[in-house]
Structure 1
Amino acid sequence: MTASKTRSERRKRGQIETLPSGSLRVSVYAGVDQLTGQRNYLKELVPHGTPNAEREAEKVLTRLLNQVDEQRNPRTKVNVDTLMGRYLDGLNVDKSTLIGYQRLIRNHIRPLLGGLQVAKLDGETIESFYSILKQCSAHCGGKGKFIEHRKKGEHECTDKCKPHECKGLSASTIRKVHACLSGALAMAMRWRWISVNPLDQAKQPAAPKAKPNPPSPEQAAVIVNDAFQDLPWGMLVWLAMTTGARRGELCGLRLNQLHLDKALLEVKTSIGQEGADTWEKDTKDHQQRRIALDETTVSLLRIYLQQCESVAAEMGRKVNPKGYLFSTSIDHSAYLKPDSVSQRYSRMCKRLGIESHLHELRHYSATELISAGVDPRTVAGRLGHGGGGATTLRVYTAWLSEADQRAAGTLSGRMPAAPIVVDESGRTVTRLEPKITGPYQKIAADLRGAIACGALRPGDMLPTVVELKARYGVSVGTANRAVAELKAEGLVSASRGKRAVVLDPTKPIPDHSAEVVELHADRKAK
């Protein structure tokens, strides 16, 4: 009697209906939807013409009733849009990661999957979704014929408003989309919104193949020499090459994190950016690290800091000792924006005819160190990678190891020659060719080249001012200015009434101070 009553109660919770088409529809009450408050039913159709259709419908009814009794049924009919909203609300990641996930969900997941019930997602739907993303990021299905405008709303179109060209998302971006779905559907499984994770039924997107493309040593030399035309910019590029720091970390470096007496650089913070919004944050791995610096880098940093203090003094200001190493302000109180740094580097490389972006300087640093035989764990530590370098980053004494010191020296030996150095007498000497912006610099550049190639040797006389005037079609004053520039560089010796003579670089520069004093005395007597 009891067993019969139980079967009767189970039968009342479900029913089999015959549809006008002749198919049988099985419905089972599965409780109240926790989110919508509506009655939730499990439904399944047995098509017309199925052999022993009534018996099959009874089997389906029994199966669905067992799912409800064992709580293996989906407990809600909410759609993917609601699921992604709940997922973002509970996400505990840093601001940069959260903004990236929000963008992917807004641009790709919600437009294509947002209206579907979570319980109806399956492997075929997920794989079709990934296929659309691979084909076109605008989801046009390869048939989109429209103009991609540079901004929304009414505006005058420029060359930035171009016809749409289908270009799919990169493999790495699709993997990020997959990560968003994976986290959200795992949450739905924990909350028993679904009984089967559809991602387990779909083929996961392939991991992108690593294709590092660092600059060659020859390209690195060209990049460094061009960057050092502006000392602050050159110093940033040099530090990116030698330390492998991320662009946000370079922008977030502070002056009090630089210890030149110990040849150490501390990396504690980073600068994040989304559009015009910038903020200071932890490093990507949320860990601080110390990077050993080579002698050349220390020397260049000293020169750079001296210039920063000199520029601030000229403006009647002082450099904030806790300010940023690279700054847009005189007192170094403001940091650089990461996007601006990347854009400037890209423009420079485009002008030089080199295909490179800023992140590839990290690849350059890692590639050169590994090629030199430095162990991967040490390289991972210098670059702030997780995994192999995580343990060494946590322990200060372990990080200051002989391997790291050897890495700093090894990279120094593989870097291009420093364009700015300090000679034995303590003078700052540049190896850069000055920019030619006027006629006198053109004359000076030609004479400098003649001295460098040996056409003019030590002891030889330079062409006279009259000869230079006639050869270049300039005034006497312009020709004199060119000779004066070579004299200031210590390449020639020149005095009033005498022709300039090429100097021997191995001998000390003649002191003409007595001649100057005598000349002033003669003028005063007259």
Structure 2
Amino acid sequence: MARLAWGYTWCEWSRVRTMATAKRRRGEIENLPSGSLRVKVYAGIDPVTKRRHYLHETIPAGPTAEREAEKARTRLLAQVDERRNPRTRATLAQLLDRWLDVVDVQPSTRQGYVRKLDKHVRPLLGKEPVGRLDAETLESFYAVLRKCRDHCGGRKYVEHRKAGEHVCTDKCRPHVCRGLSPASIRQIHWILSGAFARAVRWRWIGVNPADQADKPGMPAPNPHPPTSTEAAQLVTAAWELDPDWGTFVWTAMTTGARRSELCALRWNRVHLDPGVVVLERALYVDDDGMLQEKETKTHQQRRVALDPETVEVLREHLERCEARCRELELDLPADGYVFSPAVDGSSPLVPDTATQKFGRMAAKLKLATNLHALRHYSATELIAAGVDVRTVAGRLGHGGGGATTLRVYAAWLSESDQRAAATLAARMPPRPDRS
């Protein structure tokens, strides 16, 4: 048989060319013992594990299996070429760890993220590969949270007050399913959406599944501020407990400040003569359980005007603090905390302590309210009195021109509604004479 110039016969050359073509062919189709075909396409180096990453798809056995396998191979290759394929087999837990390392948020905000992720996301979805999560998975996950915040799955058990060996009391009760609030589910959705968006930017995945999922609806704001009568009861009870505590509750009502801002307030930021307090810091508890200071929630300081009565309340509080220091031959520092368990104001009132103390006081009065509702009270009373929304928003520390103030904090008032009805009635034309 004649040989070509490079030493091969035509048959040998044909065989070599076929083998070279087979080697250059991208993707593999393997025969499995079950008769199914598995398509395997190389997709690069996994950025997390640093190993070679492949896309797989299994085609059931059948007369059209080979044709379907070729279609699958072409489809997977197109995803790789267009960079729409997941570049990693990393799990959602690994993505969340990496995302928390780089996301730039306030420490207290990060703590909220971590609590929600550890409580709800990691136990149910943490081991799932990021590339396999889709809109259906997320919507099923939200449905589970709506049914039970403890993810009981329908099983019955007793919720024990204590861990370990103990004698059960009436506080150890059978588990009753309580769904997570719509607001909390929506927060979890936005946390996941942010993590998936970063994964798309890193090309870990091709699309953000949270964008395709039906996100939880925005809960309708329904603030419940204390009424004027209830506010009077709370102030009276607070002053009977302790004048210092009464001052805290009074100031919270009149300024509408957040509890963390009041607890971080120092005397050098209280200007009694012009009647102004400057709110520029807030307290939070770090991961080690230590109190730390940070900027306010909106990262801006604000000046809140004080009425003459509140100025007098704070002046009397200052005189009490100075008198206690003189008894112990101490000086009250200018940067001492206004609300402090220490005589010299060296340590602040813990925000959680204030919340718990207020809750016990309200429960004793049989009032269904909390410390945060005093912000609702302040906003509602100011708006009902005719103060413009932008001014109210400025006192509360809201951005957005007052949209948040109106949407969340301005409760419906029957008095204002009756005034509106009377105003409209005065402008109506006379009724037609029916006689």
Q: TM-score over 0.5 for the alignment?
A: yes
Higher relative contact order (CA 8 A, sep 6+): 2
Write the deviation string for residues 38-78 of structure 1: whole angstroms up to 9, x where unpaired: 3222122333447x443332222212112222322211111
Residue 405 of structure 1: aligned partner: none
Summarize the Cα distance change of 1:146–1:160 in structure 2 as closer, same or farther, 3 Å threshold. closer
Measured on the aligned residues, the alpha-carbon RMSD in Å equals: 2.4
In structure 1, the residue corresponding to 2:277 is in which secondary structure? strand
**Aligned pair 1:116/2:128, yes or no?**
yes
Q: Pick which of 30-39 and 212-221 moved more.
A: 30-39
**Aligned pair 1:332/2:332, yes or no?**
no
In structure 1, the residue corresponding to 2:188 is in which secondary structure? helix
Residue 86 of structure 2: aligned partner: 74
Q: Is the 8 A contact 1:148 1:164 kept in 2?
A: no
Mapping 1:439-478, distance limit 5 Å: none
Q: Is the 8 A contact 2:193 2:211 kept in 1?
A: no
Mapping 1:357-506, distance limit 5 Å: 357-388=370-401
Q: How much has 1:160 moved relative to structure 2?
A: 4.4
The amino acid that maps onto 1:361 is L
Residue 101 of structure 2: aligned partner: 89
Which among 201, 220, 224 is matched to residue 235 of structure 2? 224
Q: How much has 1:163 moved relative to structure 2?
A: 3.4
**Aligned pair 1:107/2:124, yes or no?**
no
Q: Is the 8 A contact 2:149 2:180 kept in 1?
A: yes
Residue 254 of structure 1: aligned partner: 266
Q: Is the 8 A contact 1:266 1:290 kept in 2?
A: yes
The amino acid that maps onto 1:303 is E
Q: Is the 8 A contact 1:255 1:323 kept in 2?
A: yes
The amino acid that maps onto 2:284 is G
State the number of aligned residues.
386
Summarize the Cα distance change of 1:144–1:362 in structure 2 as closer, same or farther, 3 Å threshold. same
Residue 3 of structure 2: aligned partner: none
Distance 1:29 1:90 in 2: 29
The amino acid that maps onto 1:37 is K
Write the deviation string for residues 378-409 of structure 1: whole angstroms up to 9, x where unpaired: 1111000122169xxxxxxxxxxxxxxxxxxx
**Aligned pair 1:301/2:314, yes or no?**
yes
Q: How much has 1:157 moved relative to structure 2?
A: 5.0
The amino acid that maps onto 1:367 is T
In structure 1, the residue corresponding to 2:83 is in which secondary structure? coil
Gapped regions of structure 2 (runs ≥ 5): 1-16, 404-435
In structure 2, the residue corresponding to 1:71 is in which secondary structure? coil
Residue 177 of structure 2: aligned partner: 166
Residue 409 of structure 1: aligned partner: none
The amino acid that maps onto 1:54 is E
Write the deviation string for residues 228-263 of structure 1: whole angstroms up to 9, x where unpaired: 222111111111111100001111111111111101
Residue 40 of structure 2: aligned partner: 27
Q: How much has 1:165 moved relative to structure 2?
A: 2.5
Q: Is the 8 A contact 2:257 2:396 kept in 1?
A: yes
> Normalising by structure 2, what TM-score?
0.83
Distance 2:244 2:77 in 1: 73
Distance 1:157 1:338 in 2: 32
Summarize the Cα distance change of 1:317–1:157 in structure 2 as closer, same or farther, 3 Å threshold. farther
Residue 46 of structure 1: aligned partner: 59
Residue 200 of structure 1: aligned partner: 211
Report the identity percentage: 53
> Normalising by structure 1, what TM-score?
0.69
Q: How much has 1:87 moved relative to structure 2?
A: 0.8
Q: Is the 8 A contact 2:156 2:174 kept in 1?
A: no
In structure 1, the residue corresponding to 2:190 is in which secondary structure? helix
Distance 1:109 1:10 in 2: 44
Between structure 1 and structure 2, the one with the greater Rg is 1
Distance 1:347 1:283 in 2: 27
Q: Pick which of 122-131 and 67-76 moved more.
A: 67-76
Residue 407 of structure 2: aligned partner: none
Q: How much has 1:35 moved relative to structure 2?
A: 2.0
The amino acid that maps onto 1:79 is T
Residue 249 of structure 2: aligned partner: 237
Summarize the Cα distance change of 1:11–1:144 in structure 2 as closer, same or farther, 3 Å threshold. farther
Q: How much has 1:294 moved relative to structure 2?
A: 0.8
**Aligned pair 1:147/2:159, yes or no?**
yes
The amino acid that maps onto 1:360 is A
Q: Pick which of 357-366 and 293-302 moved more.
A: 293-302
Residue 318 of structure 1: aligned partner: 331
Residue 276 of structure 2: aligned partner: 264
**Aligned pair 1:278/2:281, yes or no?**
no
Distance 2:388 2:118 in 1: 42
In structure 2, the residue corresponding to 1:342 is in which secondary structure? helix
Q: Is the 8 A contact 2:158 2:172 kept in 1?
A: no
Gapped regions of structure 1 (runs ≥ 5): 391-526
Q: How much has 1:302 moved relative to structure 2?
A: 1.7
Write the deviation string for residues 324-371 of structure 1: whole angstroms up to 9, x where unpaired: 111111111111000110111111111111110000000000011111
In structure 2, the residue corresponding to 1:363 is in which secondary structure? helix
Q: How much has 1:27 moved relative to structure 2?
A: 1.9
Q: Is the 8 A contact 1:26 1:45 kept in 2?
A: yes
Write the deviation string for residues 471-519 of structure 1: whole angstroms up to 9, x where unpaired: xxxxxxxxxxxxxxxxxxxxxxxxxxxxxxxxxxxxxxxxxxxxxxxxx
